[in-house]
Every structure is written in structure tokens, then in C-alpha cells.
Amino acid sequence: MNYIGKTLNGNVFDKNVDSAFNNIRPFSFALGTGKVIKGWDEGIALLNKGSKATFYIPSALAYGPQAPSRAIGANAVLLFDVELTDIKKAKLIPNQVK
């Protein structure tokens, strides 16, 4: 996926489509594994390949009372413009028998 993350006042704090942020390739993650904020897990699950959306993520589904950086304050509502460029099925790992 491609994304641009902003605060409600429009300050861009991250994006993967700009070399100024040292990241210019699509971002990938396994849905529902807790690798991203809860708002992304919930929002991305609603999209189809090729979809574009704007997510307004309440602080409870983002970082809550934590301030993860100087650009994102405590209890911040975050705005993300996202584009789901591809969906890949996860490889299932069979249960190990002991």
C-alpha cells in the first residue's frame, strides 16, 4: 500500500511516496497481527485491491495517550490517505505437534 500520514492540522509526519521520508516503496504488513495501529487493521480490512481512501483514526485506534514522536502528540487524531496497491494471501504455518 501507499500512504501519507498527517495530523488534523495538515502536518505530514510520514509517507512512503516521498524520498524525503527515506521510503519510496509500497508498505506491506500482515493484516490483524498488530504490526500497525488498530485503525489501519480495521480500515484496510474494508478495502479492495486498487482502492483509495482517507482514514480519520481516533487516538484510541492510533497511539492513545502516548506521543510516539514530536510530530504526533498524545491523544492525536490522525489522517491517512491510503491506496491499497496489492493483496497477498498469507502463508499458513501448520500447527506443530509436540
**Positions marked catalytic:** 3, 13-14, 37, 63, 80
* Residues 41, 5: Cα–Cα separation, whole Å: 15
Classify each residue of 44-53 as buried b or exposed e, where b means 16 or more C-beta atoms within 10 Å of its C-beta: beebeeeeee
